[in-house]
A and B are shown apart, each in its own frame.
Chain A
Amino acid sequence: MNLSELQMIVADLDLSMPSGQDLKARGNSVRLSPKDNVVTALRELRPGEQVKVGPDLQEVTAVELIPFGHKMAIVTLPTGSDVIKYGDCIGVASQPIAAGAHVHIHNVNSRRARV
C-alpha cells in the first residue's frame, strides 16, 4: 500500500478525533464527536465550573466534582438512554442523569457480556 492509497482510505473513514490544538483550546474538557452527549474532563472540574461544548461554545455547568479523565453529561439523560462517546454507544443510563453530572458506573450500565 502506498501513501496515496492510504490517504484515500483515511479520507473514506469517519475517524475524526479532535486535534491537539483543539484539545488545548477547549481547556478543561473535550467532546470527541459531535454526536456525544458527554465530555471528558481534561483536568478535575469543580462544582459550578463551566464547560464549553461544540462550535458555538455552549456552556454547561458541572453540578458535582468530575475527576480528571472522567465524563460529564452535557444534556439530561433519562433512564434507559444511550450514553454516547466517540460517536458511539458506551452504555445505558441506569438512572436519570442531569446535565453537568458525573457519568460513571453509578449511573451507567454496559450492554455487553452481561448475564
Chain B
Amino acid sequence: MKIQAYRRANGGVGIRNHVLVIPASVCASHAACRMAEGVPGAVAIPHENGCCQVGRDHEQTVRTLAGFGRNPNVAAVLVVSLGCEGIHFDQLQSRIEATGKPVAHVGIQASGGETVAIHAGIRILTDLKRQADTQSRVECDLAGIILGLECGGSDATSGIAANPAIGVASDLLLAAGGTSILSETTELIGAEHLLARRASQEVGQKIMEIVKQTEARAQAMGADLRGSQPTPGNLVGGITTIEEKSLGCIHKAGSARVGAVIAYAEEPRGKGLIVMDTPGHDIESVTGMVAGGAQVVVFSTGLGTPTGCAIAPVIKITGNPETFRRMADCLDVNAGRIIAEGVEIESVGRQLLDEIVAVCNGKLTRAEISGHREFGITRIGPTF
C-alpha cells in the first residue's frame, strides 16, 4: 500500500515535516521554547532533564532526545544547550546528523547570554524552515511506517471494543510490511504469559523479565502497585485489577507474533510486532515509541484524553459511545459503534487503518489541530 510522505536521506519515511528545537537540558528549555515561538512551524520539546544524571539513566535521556531528532517526521533540528550541562550538545548533534538531516547548535553561555542565543536560534530556524519547506510529499510504501500502540484513561470498553479494533488495524499494517510497537510494560502485568506464548523462547523470556522488573520496581517503593494502577479513572470505568487492565491492553497488539523486545526509546531493528519496555504513563510511553522511530500513534481511551505528541500525530479512538459524544473534541475514531450498534470489530479496525493512512498522507488529528505538544522522558535513576 502506498502513502504520500517525505522521503528522508537515510530512506526513512516521514509523515510530517517538523523543524525541531531540542534543549540539551532543562536549563536550555526556556530558550528553546522562545526560539520555536519565533518561527511559525518550528516546535520545541522542553523537558526537566539533561543534567546530574548517571549511567543508564543518562544514556536513556540522551537516546530519547536524539531519537526525537532522528524521527523521520523531523526535517531539521536545532540543538540548544546551556553549555555546562551533563549532556554535551555534540552527543545529540552527532547521533541526529547520522540520519543525514541538517542539525544546527546554539549554546547560551557561548553566545554571551540568553537573549543573544534566542535571536541566533530564531535566525537559524528561519533558514532550517525554509530548507525543510523545499521538501515535498512523494509516493512511499506503508511498509516504512512504525505505528505506536497506546492506551490511556481506559475503561471496560477499551478491552472489549477499542483495543481489539486497534489489534485488527495493527495486523493489517503488519501484513502490509509495517511495524507496530506495543508498549507500557506495567500494563502487561498479568497478561505477559499470553504474549510470551506468541514469541520465540528467547523473546518470550525477555517479555517475562521486563514485567518482573517492573513489578519489582513497584514493590521496591514499599507500596502496592494498586495504589496507582489501575488509576482512579480506570476503577470508575470498571477495571478492578492490573491483571484485568493488562488483559484488555494486549488486544492492541492484535494476533501477530512478537518479534523482539527493545528498550525505552530504542529503534526497532526488524519489522513486525515489537514490544518496547515503557511505563504505563501515557506521555512517557508515547515519547519512548516516537523516540524509537514511530511516526504515528494510535491511542485508545475509554474516558477520553486530549493527549498528543510534539512531532507525531496521535489518533485517538474510544470504545465508549458516551465518551465519543462527550469528549468529541479529543477523539478521532468512534469504536463505540461496536457496543452501541453491533458494528463488527474488524470493520472498525479496517476503518482505523484507513484513518492511519489518511493521517500519514497529511490529515491532521484532533490533538494536532488543538496544538498538543506533549513530551516526557522516563527516568530510571535518581537525580544527583
Q: Is the CB of B240 within 8 A of A105?
A: yes
Instruction: Assess the A24–B341 pair: CB atoms within 8 A.
Output: yes
Question: What's the minimum C-beta distance from B291 to chain A, rounded to whole angstroms?
Answer: 25
B225 A113 Cβ-Cβ under 8 A: yes
Whole-angstrom distance between the Cβ of A1 and the nearest chain B Cβ: 6
How many of A's residues come within 8 Å of B, CB to CB? 43
A23 / chain B contacts, CB cutoff of 8 Å: 160-161, 338-339, 342
0/1 string, A67-89, CB within 8 A of B gives 1: 11111000000000001011011
- Interface contact A69-B248, CB-CB below 8 Å: no
Q: Please give me the residue from chain A that is nearest to B238 by CB atom.
A: A69
Closest to A30 in B: B160
By the criterion CB–CB under 8 Å, are B224 and A90 in contact?
no
B5 to chain A minimum Cβ distance, whole angstroms, is: 21
Main DSSP-derived SS at the B contact region = helix
Assess A90 versus B175: contact at CB under 8 Å? Given A42-B339, A70-B156: no
Question: Please, what's the 1-or-0 string for B238-282, where 1 marks a CB less than 8 Å from any CB in chain A?
Answer: 101111100110010001110000000000000010000000000
Contacts of B218 in A (CB 8 A): 113
A residues less than 8 Å from B320 (CB atoms): 69
28 sampled A-B residue pairs with Cβ under 8 A: A1-B177, A6-B255, A9-B257, A13-B198, A15-B251, A17-B160, A17-B345, A19-B344, A21-B344, A24-B342, A40-B156, A40-B238, A42-B339, A86-B247, A88-B247, A90-B243, A91-B240, A109-B241, A110-B190, A110-B226, A111-B190, A111-B241, A112-B190, A113-B189, A113-B214, A113-B219, A113-B224, A113-B229
A interface residue numbers (CB < 8 A to B): 1-3, 6, 9-10, 13, 15, 17, 19-21, 23-25, 30, 32, 40-42, 67-71, 83, 85-86, 88-91, 103-105, 108-115
